[in-house]
């Protein structure tokens, strides 16, 4: 009897609601008044692989977790299958324990969108979005429920110590990639007239960045923004859109903006100028359950430090003690091992 009562109490404390034989975990609602001092993030999480990383992320006591895409590997237009995969991930004991302790927001990439390297032509994108938002428990009052696409924004913290999280949707509106035709050449050629965000999302993004009262801005893109030289998906496959994004950041000049990205099955930090007076950091964290361990080198003229081809998650630590907050980026892995640390200027 004691074991039964303990089990029931444990699940109730974690936020499970039981419906017959089915248990659905519901985390606590977002607390926008909470000051963020530690923010964790990552991507590329195969729900069929061992979920070892959550206990090590939790050791850092993050105030927020940001999904940067590939929450599950669905790759399907079968929405029943996709829903089951999300449910399995949400009720995974390791993830459940973590999400009971940490606020969670996020966006999608291609595998949780529904198709590898997918874009606006995917026929089930609206149904897929609804499943993503249900998994993330996006507040029903959030306007992102009412419009096409999965882009969202959230501002946390009291006046003078606010962090704005801007979650881009790089799938729903994106034009098609142009496949390279040369053996040994680029996997994708530049689509010089193609777009990534779509007209409405561009309007929304400019509004989010203009005259923001946040002291820190995190621009979250599932695919990399700054690196231009590798052969895989990236903003540089759409050079006009990439140029437009960097020009918009320069024009609106939000305080302390950093880019977070995933997708690549490795981690790295990039740092690049966007105009004569401004440079920007991008922290890529990818590979919660799997990476490309043979990736020891890859061209990226903006890289700070080395490629990290090991299972990893990202961490931002904010020191609010000075008028200008100090932000430190960590790339960490199993056993909470620190692989790389960078002071973001």
pLDDT for the residue 19: 28
Alpha helix (H) residue ranges in the chain: 2-14, 54-58, 79-90, 93-99, 110-113, 125-136, 199-209, 239-252
Task: Read off the pTM.
Answer: 0.92
Does residue 11 form part of some domain? Answer: no
Question: 203: closest CA among 147, 162, 161?
Answer: 147
Which tens digits make up the pLDDT trace of 205-225? 999 999 999 999 999 999 999
Q: What does residue 139 show for φ and ψ, rounded to 5 degrees? A: -55, 135
* Residues contacting residue 156 through CB under 8 Å, at least 6 positions apart: 30, 31, 32, 33, 34, 35, 36, 63, 64, 162, 163, 165
Does residue 22 form part of some domain? Answer: no
Cα(249)–Cα(197) distance, integer angstroms: 15
In degrees, rounded to 5, the angle at the alpha carbon of residue 238 between the alpha carbons of residues 167 and 224 is: 45
Structural domains in the chain (count): 1
C-alpha 65 chain-centroid distance = 9
Does residue 333 form part of some domain? Answer: yes
Does residue 148 form part of some domain? Answer: yes
pLDDT for the residue 293: 76
Q: What is the pLDDT along the chain (345 residues), one digit of tens a residue?
A: 333 333 333 333 444 433 234 455 667 789 999 999 999 999 999 999 999 999 999 999 999 999 999 999 999 999 999 999 999 999 999 999 999 999 999 999 999 999 999 999 999 999 999 999 999 999 999 999 999 999 999 999 999 999 999 999 999 999 999 988 655 567 899 999 999 999 999 999 999 999 999 999 999 999 999 999 999 999 999 999 999 999 999 999 999 999 999 999 999 999 999 999 999 999 999 999 999 877 778 999 999 999 999 999 999 999 999 999 999 999 999 999 999 999 998
Region class of 149: left (phi > 0), else alpha (psi between -120 and 50), else beta: left
Does residue 285 form part of some domain? Answer: yes
Which CATH number do you get for residue 257?
A: 3.60.21.70
pLDDT for the residue 161: 98
- Classified as helix, coil or strand, 108 is coil
> Can you give the residue range of the structural domain that contains 120?
39-344
Does residue 8 form part of some domain? Answer: no
Does residue 6 form part of some domain? Answer: no
Does residue 300 form part of some domain? Answer: yes
């Amino acid at each position: 009897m004691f074991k039964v009562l303990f089990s029931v109490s444990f699940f109730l404390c974690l936020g499970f609601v039981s419906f017959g034989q089915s248990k659905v975990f519901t985390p606590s609602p977002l607390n926008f008044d909470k000051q963020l001092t530690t923010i964790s993030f990552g991507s590329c999480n195969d729900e069929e692989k061992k979920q070892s990383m959550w206990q090590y992320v939790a050791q850092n006591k993050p105030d927020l977790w940001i999904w940067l895409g590939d929450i599950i590997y669905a790759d399907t237009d079968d929405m029943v299958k996709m829903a089951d995969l999300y449910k399995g991930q949400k009720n995974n004991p390791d993830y459940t324990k973590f999400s009971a302790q940490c606020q969670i927001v996020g966006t999608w990439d291609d595998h949780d969108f529904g198709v590898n390297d997918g874009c606006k032509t995917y026929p089930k994108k609206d149904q897929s979005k609804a499943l993503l938002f249900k998994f993330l428990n996006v507040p029903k009052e959030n306007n992102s429920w009412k419009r096409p696409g999965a882009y969202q924004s959230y501002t946390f913290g009291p006046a003078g110590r606010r962090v704005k999280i801007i979650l881009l949707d790089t799938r729903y509106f994106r034009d098609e990639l142009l496949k390279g035709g040369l053996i040994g050449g680029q996997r994708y050629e530049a689509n010089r007239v193609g777009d990534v965000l779509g007209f409405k999302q561009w309007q929304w993004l400019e509004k989010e960045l203009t005259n923001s009262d946040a002291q820190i801005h995190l621009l979250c893109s599932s695919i990399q923004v700054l690196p231009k030289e590798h052969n895989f998906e990236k903003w540089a496959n759409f050079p006009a859109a990439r140029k437009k994004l960097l020009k918009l950041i320069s024009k609106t000049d939000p305080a302390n903006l950093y880019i977070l990205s995933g997708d690549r099955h490795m981690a790295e930090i990039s740092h690049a100028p966007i105009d004569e007076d401004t440079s920007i950091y991008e922290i890529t964290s990818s590979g919660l359950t799997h990476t490309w361990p043979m990736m020891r080198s890859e061209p990226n003229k903006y890289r700070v430090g080395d490629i990290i081809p090991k299972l990893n998650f990202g961490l931002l630590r904010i020191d609010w003690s000075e008028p200008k907050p100090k932000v430190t980026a960590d790339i960490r892995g199993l056993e909470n091992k620190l692989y790389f640390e960078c002071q973001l200027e």
